[in-house]
Structures are given as C-alpha cells and as structure tokens.
Amino acid sequence: MLHDDSEDKDEKKKNETIVLDIGTGYVKAGIMNDSKPEKVFPNMVANDGKYVGKEAFEMVGKKVYPMTKGEIKNWSAMTQVITYTLKESLKTAGKVMYTNQPFFPKHYMDFIAKMLFEEDLGITAFSSGERQQMALKFYGKETGLVVQSGHGKTSVVPIIEGKVDYKNIHTSFLAG
C-alpha cells in the first residue's frame, strides 16, 4: 500500500499552532515557528462577504475594511475574514495564537475568542499576545525596542525583560 505524505502534512498541521496577525491593511497567517507567514492577503471583503482578501481587492464595487488604524470597525467583516483565513486560505484548524497591538481592547479579544469557538472552525485552543513582544521573543531576545509600521499606524514599543513597558509606548498615525 502506498503512503500518502499529504495526509502526514495535514495531520502535522492540525497539531501545530496557527498564528493570526490581522492588521488594518493585511492578514498574515501561518504556523508558529515558521520563518514567515504562509498566507498574506489584503484585509477586506467585497460583495457582502462573497469575496475576501485578494479576490475582494480585485473586485469592482463596494469594499469593506474590517479595521481602521488598528481598531475593529466592522465586526461582521472581521468574522468573514477570520473564517476565510482558517477554512479557505489555511484549510486547517486547531490551536490559534492571535497577535494584537498594545492597548487592544479586551472586548475585541473576547469577541474574537467567542467567534472562533462558535463558528465551528475546529478551534481547540485560543491564546493572544502582543505582536511586538512575540517578534522579539522569536529572535530569542527579552529586552529590546520594536518599531512596527503598518497600514494605519506606527508603534515604537519598548520591551524590558519580556514585558511591554506600556508607559513608554509611542504611536503615530504616519504609516503605510
């Protein structure tokens, strides 16, 4: 009997942690500890959610952006983007690590966690962390200054001994 390597890859993927980094301009998603995201596409929906990401970008007509300057403004569109990312783009489920910005409102995180479990996406565990802190840890550092410039804002985040120094974060809406 022949052994199908794709089944092994699918099974391995189910046991890995999915990292979702959803910014104002782009969604970046992949498997934790990979050197780069597996999928990167525009954070937008079109035609009442029929198209998401690159397909939405290429559509003529009304486009909806779930986020503006790092804040979720359209919850329905955000749900569509997350569902698309897991079911259609990555085609996997399991544990999810959601990255966020410092000062990301707790009710946003509560909504995302609730949605992940209620939308029947096969999520088995959920965690979140600040993307700047996670980026520094990825490089094996506990202390550093992380500068992130996204679609809607630029943040300078000091991290000391693994903890974000919230009092000294600087944010500017010069970005993109």
CATH placement of domain 5-130: 3.30.420.40
Beta strand 144-149 pairing with 154-160 = antiparallel
Sheet holding 51-52, edge to edge: 51-52, 45-46, 63-64
pLDDT in tens, 45-55: 998 888 999 99
10 vs 91: CA distance, rounded Å? 9
pLDDT in tens, 86-108: 999 999 889 999 999 888 899 99
What pLDDT sits at residue 103?
A: 87
What pLDDT sits at residue 76?
A: 94
Instruction: Map out the domains of the chain as residue ranges.
Output: 5-130
Q: If the chain, 176 residues long, is cut into consecutive pieces of 10 residues, what is the mean pLDDT of each piece?
A: 54 77 94 91 92 93 90 94 94 90 90 91 91 88 92 90 94 83
What pLDDT sits at residue 6?
A: 55
In 3D space, the residue among 68, 67, 69 whose CA is nearest the CA of residue 82 turns out to be 67
